[in-house]
């Protein structure tokens, strides 16, 4: 299995066309991958080698392009990007594929969506990996309003906000629909209460880069759940932690441990 994009299929949910791939061992344990803001299934999971890593380990690897991203529909209505609605796309994909239960791994915004998925459809989630999001899932991840402005600015040269420049450059690089992303960032940051996060009782691994200034503490989030553990991803920031070898090994070990339980 190489790092080239696999073939994508589509299905319709909530009036939107959702793109996804279903690769790896068809008889293996399924794992659903949910990418981060301004990214895509290819950018988060194929190019950094996750599809190969998980496929070579015998898993059935399923990933979707979130609404507003990749090859999925890109509405400009901000009300369509609240995490429960985006988690509904993920649940609908599992139903579409006839998968009753799956491991779930989400990165950054995808981790937030994964948490909402676990709360709304606990019977479908066997374990969760939160990447790039720690206690910010509960307390927030800072002021992201300038990012919407950066995405809608005439050009990158017009953006002075440091984090805004980072995401605008990323959106330009991935040739994203910047109006859809601006709508998404305005409503996709709904928080989860301490009480609700404590209701997630499946095994959880939380991986955050030691140089990540967005995610918040993995340890603080792990302390709020009954079966969660934190992983420091050494020397990685928010953008680079996703494909890190330490993270990949820890995820494979975690999934193997869950499989043995």
For the chain, the domains span 9-139+190-260
For domain 9-139+190-260, give the CATH superfamily: Alpha/Beta hydrolase fold, catalytic domain (3.40.50.1820)
Enter the tokens of residue 129.
């990996």
State pLDDT tens for residues 105-116. 999 999 999 999
Q: What is the rounded CA–CA span in Å between residue 221 and residue 205?
A: 10
Q: What is the rounded CA–CA span in Å between residue 217 and residue 2?
A: 33
SS3 112: helix
User: What Cα–Cα distance (Å) separates residue 55 from each residue in 28, 204, 212, 254?
Assistant: 9, 21, 28, 16
Overall pTM surpassing 0.75 (yes/no): yes
State pLDDT tens for residues 177-201. 999 999 999 999 999 999 999 999 9
State pLDDT tens for residues 86-106. 999 999 999 999 999 999 999
> What band does 261 get if pLDDT is binned at 50, 70 and 90?
low
pLDDT above 90 as % of the chain: 90
State pLDDT tens for residues 231-255. 999 999 998 999 999 999 999 999 9
User: What Cα–Cα distance (Å) separates residue 26 from each residue in 52, 59, 65, 145, 186?
Assistant: 14, 8, 20, 42, 37
pLDDT for 16: 98
């Amino acid at each position: 299995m190489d790092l080239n994009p696999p073939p994508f299929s589509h299905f319709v949910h909530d009036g939107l066309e959702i793109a996804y791939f279903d690769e790896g061992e068809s008889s293996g344990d399924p794992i659903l991958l949910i990418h981060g803001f301004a990214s895509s299934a290819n950018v988060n999971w194929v190019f950094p080698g996750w599809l190969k890593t998980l496929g070579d380990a015998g898993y059935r690897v399923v990933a979707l392009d979130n609404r507003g991203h990749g090859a999925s529909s890109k509405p400009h209505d901000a009300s369509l990007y609240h995490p429960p609605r985006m988690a509904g796309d993920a649940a609908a994909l599992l139903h579409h594929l006839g998968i009753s239960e799956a491991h779930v791994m989400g990165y950054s915004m995808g981790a937030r969506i994964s948490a909402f998925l676990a709360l709304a459809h606990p019977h479908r989630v066997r374990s969760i990996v939160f990447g790039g999001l720690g206690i910010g899932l509960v307390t927030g991840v800072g002021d992201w309003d300038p990012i919407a402005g950066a995405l809608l600015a005439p050009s990158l040269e017009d953006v002075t906000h440091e984090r805004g420049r980072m995401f605008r450059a990323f959106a330009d690089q991935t040739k994203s629909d910047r109006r859809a992303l601006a709508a998404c960032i305005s409503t996709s940051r709904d928080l989860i209460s301490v009480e609700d996060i404590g209701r997630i009782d499946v095994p959880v691994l939380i991986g955050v880069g030691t140089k990540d200034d967005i995610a918040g503490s993995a340890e603080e989030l792990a302390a709020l759940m009954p079966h969660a553990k934190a992983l420091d991803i050494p020397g990685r920031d928010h953008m680079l932690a996703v494909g890190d070898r330490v993270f990949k090994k820890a995820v494979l070990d975690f999934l193997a441990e869950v499989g043995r339980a």
